[in-house]
């Protein structure tokens, strides 16, 4: 096996967080790859839902996004937003919401709307789409993103989708679901303290130091005495990712 890429560790870590039998609403990109990987390994009864109206898809070609017909292929049901985001997510039966992000703060609040440069000039991105709905309503939220001071800032440029708000419990904020559970980056896995709802370090990826993670995080990060090392993807996971799931490295760059 050649050297393991950071994206492969991220995707395997994401897959490992999913349990067999769970229902997951998935965003574009690495979350989708992680779900396919989980389904092909330890979680064959995982149900993936796409907001566009696709249940349990089985793509045989790599899609470029949610609106790509490649991701409609092999589904067990085609419906729409009202079914997926309404009668599944809003209904309260979605276990995991798996999202990407432009920025995430220490309370797991997500920005997917805009960034501001030093002079305050605003640049817009894709916005919420189903992101706010998923973050508001799924039982646990997993975020998968690159690690960096500007990706994990002290203050978001915009709060598109809520985590723990200013650090309060979800019920107090008026939100359903248990809120952010994991932030999986190319350096580490972060979790959240059950009392303070602040981000803490769960594990660092092989070859990454705790200091490196702290230096590249824009907010103060709680470090416990027993920070683990993220397991490398197994040979089986790597083989599936490289030969089957994303052979052209559309996502696993």
Q: Which residues of 84-123 are buried (b: 16+ CB within 10 A; e: fewer)?
A: bbeebbeeeebbbbbbbbbbbbbbbbbbbbbbeeeeeeee
Kindly state whether residue 56 participates in binding another protein, applying the rule CB under 8 A: no
Q: How far apart are CA 184 and CA 216, in angstroms?
A: 14
Of positions 125, 214, 224, 247, contacts another protein by CB under 8 A: 125
Dist. CA 250–CA 253, nearest whole Å: 7
Contact status: 52 vs another protein (CB under 8 A): yes
Residue 78 touching another protein (CB under 8 A): yes
* Residue 44 vs 65, nearer CB to another protein: 65
Which of 1, 2, 3, 69 touches another protein (CB under 8 A)? 69
**CB distance 175 to 107 below 8 Å:** no
Measured from the CB atom, the residue of 2 and 69 that comes closer to another protein is: 69
Binding residue for another protein, selected from 4, 6, 129, 210, defined by CB under 8 A: 129
Q: Is 87 in the site for another protein (CB under 8 A)?
A: no
Tokens of 214: 């702290």
Stretch that binds another protein, among 129-137, 203-211, 224-232, 241-249 (CB under 8 A): 129-137
Is residue 107 within 8 A of residue 165, CB to CB? The reply is yes
Residue 160 to residue 183: CA distance in whole angstroms? 16
When binding is defined by CB under 8 A, the residue of 70, 140, 222, 242 that contacts another protein is: 70
Catalytic residue among 8, 51, 103, 215: 51
* Residues touching another protein, count (CB under 8 A): 55
SS3 label, residue 2: coil
User: Any idea what DSSP says for residue 227?
Assistant: P
User: How many angstroms separate the CA atoms of 37 and 35, rounded?
Assistant: 5
The reply to whether 51 belongs to the active site is: yes
Instruction: Report the catalytic residues.
Output: 51
Interaction site with another protein (CB under 8 A)? 28, 50-54, 60-61, 64-70, 72-73, 75, 78-82, 85-86, 89-90, 112-113, 121-133, 136-137, 158-162, 165, 173-176, 250
């Amino acid at each position: 096996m050649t050297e393991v890429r950071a994206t492969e560790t991220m995707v395997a870590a994401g897959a490992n967080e999913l349990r067999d039998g769970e229902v997951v609403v998935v965003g574009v990109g690495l979350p989708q790859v992680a779900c396919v990987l989980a389904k092909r390994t330890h979680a064959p009864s995982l149900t993936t839902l796409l907001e566009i109206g696709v249940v349990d898809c089985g793509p045989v070609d790599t899609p470029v996004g949610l609106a790509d017909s490649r991701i409609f292929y092999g589904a067990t049901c085609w419906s729409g937003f009202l079914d997926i985001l309404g009668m599944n997510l809003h209904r309260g039966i979605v276990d995991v919401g798996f999202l990407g992000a432009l920025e995430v703060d220490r309370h797991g609040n997500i920005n997917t709307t805009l960034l501001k440069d030093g002079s305050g000039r605003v640049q817009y991105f894709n916005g919420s789409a189903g992101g706010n709905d998923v973050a508001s309503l799924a039982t646990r939220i997993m975020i998968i993103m690159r690690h960096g001071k500007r990706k994990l800032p002290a203050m978001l440029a915009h709060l598109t989708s809520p985590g723990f708000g200013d650090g309060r419990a979800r019920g107090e904020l008026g939100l359903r679901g248990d809120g952010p559970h994991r932030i999986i980056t190319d350096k580490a896995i972060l979790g959240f303290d059950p009392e303070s709802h602040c981000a803490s370090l769960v594990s660092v990826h092989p070859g990454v130091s705790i200091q490196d993670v702290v230096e590249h995080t824009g907010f103060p990060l709680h470090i416990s005495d027993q920070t683990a090392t993220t397991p490398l993807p197994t040979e089986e996971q790597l083989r599936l990712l490289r030969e089957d799931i994303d052979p052209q490295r559309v996502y696993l760059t």
